[in-house]
Amino acid sequence: MSTTTAAEAELAVQARQAAQTSDGYWKGVFKRVRRDKVTMFCAFILFCMLLAIIFAPVIAPHDPFQGSMIRRLRPIGTPNHLLGTDELGRDILTRLLYGGRLSWFMGIVPVAMAFVIGTFLGVLAGFAGGKVNMLIMRVTDVFYAFPSVLLAVAISGALGAGILNAILALTLVFVPPIIRVAESVTQGVRNLDFVDAARASGAGAFTVVRVHVLGNVLGPIFIYATSLISVCMILASGLSFLGLGTRPPEAEWGLMLNTLRTAIYVQPWVAVLPGACIFVTSICFNLVSDGLRQAMDVKG
């Protein structure tokens, strides 16, 4: 009697294990990410930041544009102005909260746009091969001949200051690297047996790409794109810091850093606060991207 129950118990354990190992791919990824403390911690910080900037109008103690000539450049810890005030007497905490909105927007939107455009062109080049590949990849090579910061500065410098121009410039900077990654993963998938099998069983080119190729290449491309968000955020704030990108009186971390630069001898620690925000956000995005890469077992 007891032997049967032991065998049954073992079978049950095996069945449970089988059920666990046959969990979907994404469930496995999610489980691995959850076990990764660093990634979870960074994701938590990012989540809190996101909440803070979404609810900025509710949390912010002051108006982001309302200055005061008699309360300029107060130090950190001033009553009523927890993180001090800027060169026009505006509350720093409030402006950091509002500034996060634009900084996040300009860090994510160009990468998202480049992800869509770059994936389309890269998969097209990788799948079509031949002359199409040649055309797309040679044009990509040209943009690789510019250091990324220089390209962003050049395009937005020629187009002139403005959020839209900066987003356009940054998108153009990130499309070529995404094309390269997309093209190389697509080439890797294109010659696998299951693609041939699908084609042999009568699937058209569009179906093959949609069902068999995209499903296998989107993951690695997405991971690569997430690793670009931190670079994009630094570059976007850098453009604002140079006076391209956002314009005063708009609140944006890079622009705040630029205008507070003159106050560096008066309130040095207030002046460096917006940059600390960029740093924390960018390092968290980087670590989350690294964690995802490991969890999804993407090489490179």
Task: List interacting residues with another protein (CB under 8 A).
Answer: 138, 141-143, 145-150, 153-155, 157-160, 230, 234, 237-238, 241-244, 254, 257, 261, 264-265, 268-269, 271-272, 274-276, 278-279, 282-283, 285-287, 290
CB of residue 287 to another protein, shortest distance in Å: 6
CB of residue 59 to another protein, shortest distance in Å: 24
Helices (H), the chain: 2-21, 25-35, 37-54, 56-59, 92-128, 130-144, 148-159, 163-190, 193-200, 205-207, 214-241, 253-260, 268-271, 273-296
Choose between 213 and 288: whose C-beta lies nearer to another protein: 288
Q: Contact, 114 vs 227, CB < 8 A?
A: no
CB of residue 161 to another protein, shortest distance in Å: 9
Instruction: Report how far residue 287's alpha carbon sits from residue 45's, in angstroms, rounded to the nearest whole number.
Output: 11
> At CA 30, angle to CA 24 and CA 36, rounded to 5?
145
Instruction: Report how far residue 94's alpha carbon sits from residue 91's, in angstroms, rounded to the nearest whole number.
Output: 5
Which phi and psi angles does 74 have, rounded to 5°? -80, 150
Choose between 205 and 264: whose C-beta lies nearer to another protein: 264
Q: Contact, 34 vs 63, CB < 8 A?
A: no
Instruction: Report how far residue 100's alpha carbon sits from residue 106's, in angstroms, rounded to the nearest whole number.
Output: 10
Choose between 146 and 222: whose C-beta lies nearer to another protein: 146
Choose between 119 and 165: whose C-beta lies nearer to another protein: 165
CB of residue 241 to another protein, shortest distance in Å: 6
Which residues in 58-74 are b (16+ Cβ under 10 Å) and which e?
eebebebeebeeebbbb
CB of residue 237 to another protein, shortest distance in Å: 6
Choose between 180 and 212: whose C-beta lies nearer to another protein: 180
Choose between 94 and 258: whose C-beta lies nearer to another protein: 258
CB of residue 60 to another protein, shortest distance in Å: 23
